[in-house]
Amino acid sequence: GAVVSQHPSRVICKSGTSVKIECRSLDFQATTMFWYRQFPKQSLMLMATSNEGSKATYEQGVEKDKFLINHASLTLSTLTVTSAHPEDSSFYICSASFQASPLHFGNGTRLTVT
Amino acid sequence: DQQVKQNSPSLSVQEGRISILNCDYTNSMFDYFLWYKKYPAEGPTFLISISSIKDKNEDGRFTVFLNKSAKHLSLHIVPSQPGDSAVYFCAASSSGSARQLTFGSGTQLTVLP
C-alpha cells in the first residue's frame, strides 16, 4: 500500500490565488522530504528539500517566496504555491525516505491555474 | 546540463521478449542508482536499485546492470508483460546528497500483446 500520501490529487485555481499541497508519510517518520515538479514529457525536477524543523533548501532557480515549504512534523510537509499563475500549472510530486530505503513518492498533484 | 540521460524516449517490445532500457550519467560522484516505474497521474514507484560497489542486481524479472567506467546503466525486463507498459525513470544520487535524486527524462515502454 501507499507509504506516502499526497493531497489533493488535482486542483484548479484562479490566477493570483494560493494553493497548498500536503505530503504525509503514512507509516514512517521522514526527517527529509523532497518536492519535485514535472512538466509534460520531461523529467522530475527537484524543487526543494524539506527538513523537519528547519528551513527548506531550494534548488537554483526556484523562488522560495513563491513556493513556500513547511515541514512542521516528521510525517507532514506542505508546499504552498503563492499567487499562482498559469505558468505554475504542472504536476507536483513529493517524496520521503526512511533510513536507507529508496525514496517513496506520493501520487502527485496536478495543478491547473486558470 | 543533464547529469542523467535517457536517450530513448520510447521503446516498444513484444510480450515475452526482453526489454532493455538504458541510462547514462555524467557525474562521477553518483554512487547509487535507482529505477522507477510511473503510470500517468501517479507518482513513481520504486523498482530496483544498485550501488556502485556492484555491477549487477537482480529482482525477479528485473535486472539492473551498472558499467561504472562507461557511466552507463541498464534495466532488463524479461519476460516483458503488457502490465510493464509505463514510463521508466532512472535516477542517481551521491552519498553526500541527503538522498536527493537526479532523474533522467524517462522512457515510455510499451509491451505489445
Q: What is the pLDDT of residue A1?
A: 56
C-alpha cell at B99: 538522498
Q: What is the 3-state secondary structure (H, E, C) of B3-69?
A: CEECCCCEEEEECCCCEEEEEEECCCCCCEEEEEEECCCCCCEEEEEEECCCCEEEECCEEEEEECC
Q: Which of B41, B89, B102 sits opposite A108 (nearest CB)?
A: B41
DSSP track, A1-53: --SEEEE-SEEEE-TT--EEEEEEESSS--SEEEEEEE-TTS-EEEEEEEETT
Q: Which of A32, A43, A106 sits opposite B103 (nearest CB)?
A: A43
Cα separation of A111 and A19, whole Å?
9
Beta bridge partners of B48: B35
Q: What is the pLDDT of residue A72?
A: 80
CA A75 to each of CA A30, A53, B32: distance values in angstroms, whole numbers, following the listed order: 6, 12, 25
Asked whether A55 and A48 are in contact (CB, 8 A), the reply is: no
The band of A30, judged by pLDDT with boundaries at 50, 70 and 90, is confident
Residues of A in contact with B59 (CB under 8 A): none
**Residue A40: cis peptide before it, omega within 30 degrees of 0:** no
Question: Which of A6-15, A64-73, B21-30, B58-67 bottoms out in mean pLDDT, i.e. has the lowest?
Answer: A64-73
C-alpha cell at A19: 494553493
Mean pLDDT along residues A35-47: 87
pLDDT tens digit string along B11-69? 999 999 999 999 999 999 999 999 999 988 788 998 999 999 999 999 999 999 999 99
Q: How far apart are the first and last CA of chain B?
A: 38
In one letter, which amino acid is B61? Answer: R
Q: How far is B30 from chain A (nearest CA, A)?
A: 15
